[in-house]
């Protein structure tokens, strides 16, 4: 029998290392200092994020799961999809809700930068989904997404609210690139966190257990390991702030004292003033009108919009 699991690498062998080097060099030599949030997610960072999703204050994952549980049959009926492409390896729970509703035969294309995450998730899924064929794709979907030929129609799912980690100009580019991958009968399934009272938002990014603080500081551990840097994570305080004008949460690391750090892997030394902040994540929050407008700018039409009962999170089905 032919294997139902294939894995394709669409990332050059050293692409991740050179992307990290260039992001760190650019981000730490500008003012204010920034780092892209994608560097949180090594094995420990991914584990910490899993813990975040179970925190009482972190409502997005539960909100989105509720919506998918509620809407998966309708998504299946509206799209008739035979292929599910999922950007970011995602929580197996949400993926399974969709797979189970879509039925078999089905092709599942998980896309992630982590080959090990894809291999693990793919094999676990095969074991309990006999009618599903998996084409795992190792790729950085912000840069290129060379989809394998797959049965049509397809859904491209980008869940979790991760689109909020992109800045507005990056979002516009990214949505346009997804639009270009969609045929006339295909659809985009997009998860977005919603604007709500600032106290709820800030609490979701500053839990009393300190898991989010550890997740935020994990990027310093990544720089220490990958670039031989000498950051002491204890020198930094976790900050979560709501920007009411741009309607996004910012996570930052604030230097508790004036300090210097060496990053031999990129041949760089950086100084922080006491109180200086390094922005590590933007997590934009959305309104229906804004989602509709951004989709329209990319040539997509908001076809269906679901929220959880408390209107905290939304899932949108968009079509060409």
The distance of closest approach from Cβ of residue 220 to ligand AVJ in the complex, given in angstroms and rounded to an integer, is 15
The residues in 268-297 that bind ligand AVJ, with binding defined as CB under 6 A, are: 281, 283
Contact code string over 197-216 relative to ligand AVJ, x by CB under 6 A: --------x------x----
What sign has the CA pseudo-torsion 51, 41, 231, 235? negative
Cis check for the bond before 188: say yes or no (omega within 30 of 0): no
Residues 55-74 that bind ligand AVJ (CB under 6 A): 60
Task: Tell whether residue 281 is among the known ligand binding residues.
Answer: yes
* Least distance in angstroms from the C-beta of 74 to ligand AVJ: 23
Partners of residue 189 on adjacent β-strands: 157, 317
Considering the complex, what minimum distance in angstroms separates the CB of residue 156 from ligand AVJ?
17
283 annotated ligand-binding residue: yes
52 touches ligand AVJ (CB under 6 A):
yes
Between 89 and 212, CB nearer to ligand AVJ? 212
**Which C-beta is closer to ligand AVJ: that of 110 or that of 164?**
164
* Residue with the shortest CB distance to ligand AVJ: 283
Residue of 139, 146, 64, 124 whose CA lies nearest to 97: 64
Residue numbers 159-178 binding ligand AVJ by CB under 6 A: 160-162, 164-165
As measured in angstroms, the least distance from the Cβ of 103 to ligand AVJ is 28
- Residue 122 or 164: the one with the smaller Cβ distance to ligand AVJ is 164
Q: Count the site residues for ligand AVJ by CB under 6 A.
A: 11
Does 316 participate in binding ligand AVJ (rule CB under 6 A)? no
Query: Does 140 appear as a known binding residue?
Result: yes
Query: Whole-number minimum distance, CB 55 to ligand AVJ, in Å?
Result: 9
In the bound complex, what is the minimum distance in angstroms from residue 176's beta carbon to ligand AVJ? 21
Residue ranges that bind ligand AVJ, judged by CB under 6 A:
52, 60, 160-162, 164-165, 205, 212, 281, 283
Extract the annotated binding site.
58, 88, 94, 112, 140-141, 165, 205, 281-283
């Amino acid at each position: 029998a032919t294997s139902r699991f294939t894995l394709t690498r669409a990332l050059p062998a050293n692409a991740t290392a050179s992307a990290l080097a260039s992001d760190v060099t650019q981000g730490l030599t500008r003012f204010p200092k920034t780092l892209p949030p994608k560097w949180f997610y090594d094995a420990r960072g991914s584990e910490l994020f899993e813990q975040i999703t179970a925190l009482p204050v972190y409502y997005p994952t539960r909100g989105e799961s509720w919506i998918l549980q509620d809407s998966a049959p309708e998504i299946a009926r509206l799209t008739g999809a035979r292929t599910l492409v999922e950007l970011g390896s995602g929580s197996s729970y949400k993926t399974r809700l969709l797979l189970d509703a879509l039925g078999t035969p089905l092709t599942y294309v998980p896309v992630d930068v982590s080959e090990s995450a894809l291999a693990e998730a793919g094999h676990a899924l095969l074991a309990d989904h006999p009618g599903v064929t998996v084409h795992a794709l190792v790729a950085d979907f912000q840069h290129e997404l060379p989809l394998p030929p797959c049965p049509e129609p397809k859904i491209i799912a980008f869940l979790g609210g991760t689109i909020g980690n992109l800045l507005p100009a990056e979002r516009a580019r990214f949505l346009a690139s997804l639009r270009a991958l969609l045929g006339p009968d295909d659809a985009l399934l997009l998860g977005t966190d919603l604007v709500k009272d600032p106290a709820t938002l800030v609490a979701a990014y500053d839990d009393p257990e300190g898991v989010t603080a550890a997740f935020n500081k994990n990027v310093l551990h990544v720089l220490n390991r990958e670039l031989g840097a000498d950051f002491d994570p204890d020198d930094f305080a976790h900050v979560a702030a709501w920007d009411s004008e741009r309607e996004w949460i910012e996570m930052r690391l604030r230097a508790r004292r004036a300090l210097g750090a060496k990053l031999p892997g990129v041949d760089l030394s950086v100084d922080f003033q006491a109180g200086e902040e390094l922005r590590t994540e933007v997590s934009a929050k959305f309104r229906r009108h804004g989602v509709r407008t951004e989709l329209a700018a990319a040539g997509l039409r908001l076809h269906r919009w679901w929220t959880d009962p408390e209107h905290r999170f939304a899932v949108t089905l968009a079509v060409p």
